[in-house]
Amino acid sequence: MGYYKNRTLTFDNSYIIEGYTVAGPKENDGRYKGFFDLALNDDMFGQNTFERAERKMFEHAIDGVIGKANLENGDVDAVLGGDLLNQNVSMSFSARNQHAGFLGLYNACATYAESLIVGSCLVSNGYENVVCVAGSHFSTAERQYRYPLELGVLRSPVTQWTATGVGATVLSNQSAVSVPKITRATIGRVVDYGIMDVNNMGAAMAPSACDTLVTFFRDTNACPEDYDVIYTGDLGKLGSDILLDLARQEGCDISSKQHDCGASLYWDEQQTYQGGSGAACSALVFNSVLLGRLRRGEYKKILLLGTGALMSPTTSFQGDSIPAITHLVEVCI
């Protein structure tokens, strides 16, 4: 693991005003049933294509979070975020209805954490309210990255299941009441340990998660004991195990603190093997579960690590390995 340079930012006034989640049917049958603001009965969401359904989920999440925060469309200065589809279409298309400025972001499944970091920079520089959003849809991702839905194939035991859902957050530069705040963040670097197997994204991303985590601890002199929980995005069960091994090797034992949004999203009987993956994982779990626990004071200080595998089907077919990225945000109440 490398420790190269201080990459940790500090924020004084990045307040998390509100969060809103739209979850697919399988996700709402999972471990966090009932935590979501809107749970779909049908992952087509009344549309005639899955792509349109994903877009509608984004629109709902953005409008939902703005309404829930008692803001008007015109109060938002910027919307930023992304999805997994080529050209970031779900995000960009759903921003058509907004008056706010728009930044499309892509860091695969680390997009949500990326949007929180960029959003915190914006509110620290005079923007009043920004909406950070990320999501994914199983059926659109499956088509783009893997096989047709109805093709009968044996899945490898290291595979994960792309989560269907969108999570959106309003960040503000002020808050009248005490709300959770983003206090520090580390921008990750791209790390590639040569994993070629696109099924095994947890293994591809774990070294990057360790790299960012260790960088944050060295930058800030913080230690795992300072935090109630450390949530990784979508390393899955295997990826989490690998992260624990790698972090221990760097002298930092996070085994009693680490949880994974993806691995915890589904029950074992839902047959997702290593758990959930996709940009939706961290956005869903953070906005529905973690934000609530922070507000109720169950957690005082947490870390969220968005983990992303940056390959495309083309690079995989051409025999390239999978680069990965992890961004870290520290949230305190």
Applying CB under 8 A, which residues contact other proteins? 48-51, 143, 147-158, 193-195, 200, 203, 207, 238, 241-242, 245-246, 249
Return phi, psi of residue 89, to 5°. Answer: -65, -40
Minimum gap (Å) between residue 231 Cβ and other proteins:
22
Beta strands 15-23 and 38-39, pairing class: parallel
Q: What is the DSSP letter of 23?
A: E
Return phi, psi of residue 232, to 5°. Answer: -95, 160
Q: What is the DSSP letter of 109?
A: B
Beta strands 101-104 and 129-136, pairing class: unpaired
Minimum gap (Å) between residue 226 Cβ and other proteins:
26
Minimum gap (Å) between residue 56 Cβ and other proteins:
15
Minimum gap (Å) between residue 193 Cβ and other proteins:
4
Closest to 55 (Cα-Cα) out of 140, 163, 175, 157: 140
* Contact (Cβ atoms closer than 8 angstroms) between residue 94 and residue 55: yes
Give whichever of 178 and 190 is closer to other proteins, judged by the CB atom: 190
The SS3 assignment for 326 reads: strand
Give whichever of 99 and 248 is closer to other proteins, judged by the CB atom: 248
CA angle 308, 80, 133 (to 5 degrees): 65
Give whichever of 146 and 300 is closer to other proteins, judged by the CB atom: 146
Minimum gap (Å) between residue 95 Cβ and other proteins:
22
Beta bridge partners of residue 136, listed in sequence order: 165
CA angle 117, 310, 55 (to 5 degrees): 70
Give DSSP secondary structure letters for 142-167.
HHHHS--TT---PPPTT--EEPPEEE
Q: With both helix axes pointing from N to C terminus, report the angle between 236-249 and 201-220 in degrees, rounded to the nearest 10.
A: 40
* Contact (Cβ atoms closer than 8 angstroms) between residue 144 and residue 313: yes
Minimum gap (Å) between residue 150 Cβ and other proteins:
4
Minimum gap (Å) between residue 316 Cβ and other proteins:
16
Minimum gap (Å) between residue 218 Cβ and other proteins:
19
CA 233 to chain centroid: 6
* Contact (Cβ atoms closer than 8 angstroms) between residue 76 and residue 60: no
Minimum gap (Å) between residue 286 Cβ and other proteins:
28
The beta strands (E) that lie in 165-224 are given as 165-172, 181-186
